[in-house]
Structure 1
Amino acid sequence: MDAAAQTPPLSQLLPADRSEGIFVGRVLTDDGPCVVAVRGDELADLTPITPTMADLLERPDVREIAISALAGRSWAVDDPSVRLLAPIDLQVIKAAGVTFAISMVERVIEERAAGDPQRAQEVRARVQSAIGGSIADIEPGSPKATAVKEALQAEGLWSQYLEVGIGPDPEIFTKAPVLSAVGAGAPIGVLERSAWNNPEPEVVLVARPDGRAVGSTLGNDVNLRDFEGRSALLLGEAKDNNASCAIGPFIRLFDDGFTLDDVAAADVSLRIEGTDDDFTLTATSSMSQMSRTLPQLLAHTCGAHHQYPDGFALFTGTMFAPTKDRDAPGMGFTHHEGDVVTISTPLLGTLINTVTSSEGAPPWEIGIRALWSNLASRGQLPA
């Protein structure tokens, strides 16, 4: 299936009030990748000034550059000759897991069901009976969290997922290699041999090397529930496959009218539309229900204990817990080839991708050496 056929014009991926914000991203042209800023109905090419997004975001005058720097050239927002890339490039792609109580419970269920979706319903009933909804009110690392841990251990229900969900240390892992993320409109992939998988709609913070977030975008942390459920040691294979990480459409830079507090209060909507069975699933993640704050997640990612010289992008987690049956009663949700996944919020716009297999998605071929070679051939590398 042609994913591009499922993607609306770029102008429809941007927020309706895009003039109120500062948006930067990356597009692929005939010459190669370009760093761009959205200016009205045009995309302004910033590559001659900042050849990579990492360069742009580290500049103290990043907002001024995005708003008014003389562009090398420009394209109409809906010019069919340009294609959106993931709006990050040299940043390391990190992710925080189990940051919402609902997803925390679902991870426990995956573990107890050993990756078998047919057992999930039975395990879900037992776990929810034991912990109920009160776990959402527990401050991670608090004395109350310790007491809950001891009680659940006594019932034989303690889990490594509860440990990172309400324990002192969050789960922070590397989601995907540098430059491997796909952008809006690109196919997203799940392994052919996975029988239980789902999208994970998330807000992504984009940070400088000092760990300070300078903007935000949307992401799909595609996940194989059967793999991770069989063993947490399969997290790498469950999370990191060809086309299994989508980010976009653009980074909205923080300014006086858009701050980290706005992100923390955002609602993120998800819609999945099956093209082979007329299946539809909708859900909403409310960032306000996170069990940890965004500054806490940033601090656990970057600091004296770990540095990122080119900055990093941090998936902040999801409360999406797909339990709606699709193929058979008790089997829950899993992707089909051709599913159209739409993730959106009024603050950041819309990220839309079509599901295929990781084996069938376009191979990842443009790494750091290829990017540097392309920029050098265009005379875009700094002296």
Structure 2
Amino acid sequence: MRYYRRRQNGEPRLLATADGTAYDLTSAKPGVDSFGALAEAADVTDRTPDRVAEPLLEEAEAFPVSTVDDDPAVPLVAEEVWAAGVTYRISEEARTAESGMPEIYVDVYDADRPELFLKSTPGRTVGPGAAIGVREDSEWNVPEPELGVVLYRGEIVGYTVGNDVSSRSIEGANPLYLPQAKIYDRCCSLGPCVATDIDDPHDLEMSLTVYRNETAAFEGRTTTAGMVRSCEELVSYLTRHNAVPEVTVLLTGTSIVPDDEFSLQPGDTVVVDIEGIGTLRNPVTAV
């Protein structure tokens, strides 16, 4: 299934889509108003989120699937969003080219231990349709479309689309500036949903389009088959000696890298699509 979150009369609602219909799970069970609540019930009853949701479909208010785009919200409230770096060859090449210390990126691409870093918190994360931010003190800003792994108590329960918006000029100046290049207001977007029925997350088509003045200023396509590490390996390192929050998202790295001459601008619109999950669309603003 795919799980969406929206607001109705100011209150959060959890929607599930199945067989071309959207179901308001919160109408059937008021306590199920977020994916986290659904995952918690699944954990307590030792079932999957889908098995918990299925009995609620009969009692839930049904809508056309198109309504999931009405007043959308971040599909889940992840207390922490983490990200992995240099998991694709093109990402290693791009970060080597931008940095004055290129050898560290070559080393981490081939190393046993992956690069993992804290990316965002709930207050910095936006959902579908909300503006992502580019830093005004950065001259070179890029979107980074990524597959997001959704964890509940450290276990994989679904997948989402993520945009790890980054300042390449700040990180390129010195790798120790990575937190400033990655963590700031509106630095991350997630959505449009959480998908729980992905058979193989390592074989998904992914695309990125940046629109400027209603024209495609950049387009790129890739597949998650190019990841040098598996989702399970990345999660194992994230949870090693690290008590992650109940609901956590791990972004798995990008392999779509715009040309060096390209930088996001306020007013742009970024569209990321991942096969089997959906399309995440965000306008760009300065922060």
TM-score normalised by the chain length of structure 2: 0.88
Residue of structure 2 aligned with 1:318, choices 249, 254, 268: 254
Q: Does 1:168 align with 2:108?
A: no
Deviation string 1:294-348 (CA, Å, 9 cap, x unpaired) is 2111101114x1122413111000111211xxxxxxx611012221211112311
The structural deviation recorded for 1:75 is 4.8
Q: Does 1:53 align with 2:35?
A: yes
5+ residue gaps, structure 1, are 1-21, 113-156, 324-330, 359-383
User: Across the two proteins, how many residue pairs are aligned to each other?
Assistant: 278
Report if the CA contact (8 A) 2:80-2:245 is conserved: no
The structural deviation recorded for 1:279 is 5.0
Q: Does 1:243 align with 2:186?
A: yes
Q: What residue identity is the alignment partner of 1:34?
A: R
Which residue of structure 1 aligns with residue 230 of structure 2? Answer: 293
Report if the CA contact (8 A) 2:4-2:68 is conserved: no
Q: What residue identity is the alignment partner of 2:244?
A: Y
Question: Greater strand percent: which structure?
Answer: 2
Matches of 2:116 and 2:183, distance apart in 1: 14
Q: What residue identity is the alignment partner of 2:284?
A: V
Report if the CA contact (8 A) 2:124-2:184 is conserved: no
Q: Does 1:38 align with 2:25?
A: no
Matches of 1:336 and 1:313, distance apart in 2: 27
Q: Does 1:306 align with 2:242?
A: yes
The structural deviation recorded for 1:184 is 1.2
Q: What does 1:166-205 align with in structure 2 at a 5 Å threshold?
A: 166-178=110-122, 180-205=124-149
Matches of 1:248 and 1:207, distance apart in 2: 15
Which residue of structure 1 aligns with residue 168 of structure 2? Answer: 225
Matches of 1:265 and 1:42, distance apart in 2: 27
5+ residue gaps, structure 2, are none
Residue of structure 2 aligned with 1:344, choices 256, 273, 284: 273
Q: Secondary structure at the match of 2:124?
A: coil
Report if the CA contact (8 A) 1:247-1:351 is conserved: yes
Matches of 2:242 and 2:67, distance apart in 1: 41
Matches of 1:342 and 1:302, distance apart in 2: 30
Deviation string 1:66-103 (CA, Å, 9 cap, x unpaired) is 33315565554444994111112144211111111111
Q: Which has the larger radius of gyration?
A: 1
Q: Secondary structure at the match of 1:228?
A: helix
Report if the CA contact (8 A) 2:95-2:102 is conserved: no
Which residue of structure 2 aligns with residue 63 of structure 1? Answer: 50
Deviation string 1:108-156 (CA, Å, 9 cap, x unpaired) is 11112xxxxxxxxxxxxxxxxxxxxxxxxxxxxxxxxxxxxxxxxxxxx
Matches of 1:33 and 1:49, distance apart in 2: 11
Which residue of structure 2 aligns with residue 26 of structure 1? Answer: 5
Q: What residue identity is the alignment partner of 1:23?
A: R
Stretches of 4+ aligned residues off by more than 4 angstroms: 70-76
Q: Secondary structure at the match of 1:99?
A: coil
Question: Judging changes above 3 Å, is the alpha-carbon distance between structure 1 residues 43 and 355 closer, same or farther for their aligned structure 2 residues?
Answer: farther
Q: What residue identity is the alignment partner of 1:336?
A: Q
The structural deviation recorded for 1:36 is 2.2
The structural deviation recorded for 1:252 is 0.6
Q: What residue identity is the alignment partner of 1:314?
A: L
The structural deviation recorded for 1:178 is 3.1
Which residue of structure 1 aligns with residue 83 of structure 2? Answer: 95
Deviation string 1:24-73 (CA, Å, 9 cap, x unpaired) is 12112223222222243334133613243222123124212333315565
Question: Judging changes above 3 Å, is the alpha-carbon distance between structure 1 residues 80 and 53 closer, same or farther for their aligned structure 2 residues?
Answer: closer
Matches of 1:232 and 1:108, distance apart in 2: 11
Report if the CA contact (8 A) 1:54-1:91 is conserved: no
CA RMSD, 1 decimal = 2.2
Q: Percent identity?
A: 30
Q: What residue identity is the alignment partner of 2:277?
A: L
Matches of 1:48 and 1:167, distance apart in 2: 47
Q: What residue identity is the alignment partner of 1:351?
A: L
Q: Between 331-340 and 63-72, report the one with greater CA deviation.
A: 63-72
Report if the CA contact (8 A) 1:220-1:245 is conserved: yes
Which residue of structure 2 aligns with residue 11 of structure 1? Answer: none
Which residue of structure 2 aligns with residue 326 of structure 1? Answer: none
Report if the CA contact (8 A) 1:190-1:244 is conserved: yes
Report if the CA contact (8 A) 1:92-1:310 is conserved: no
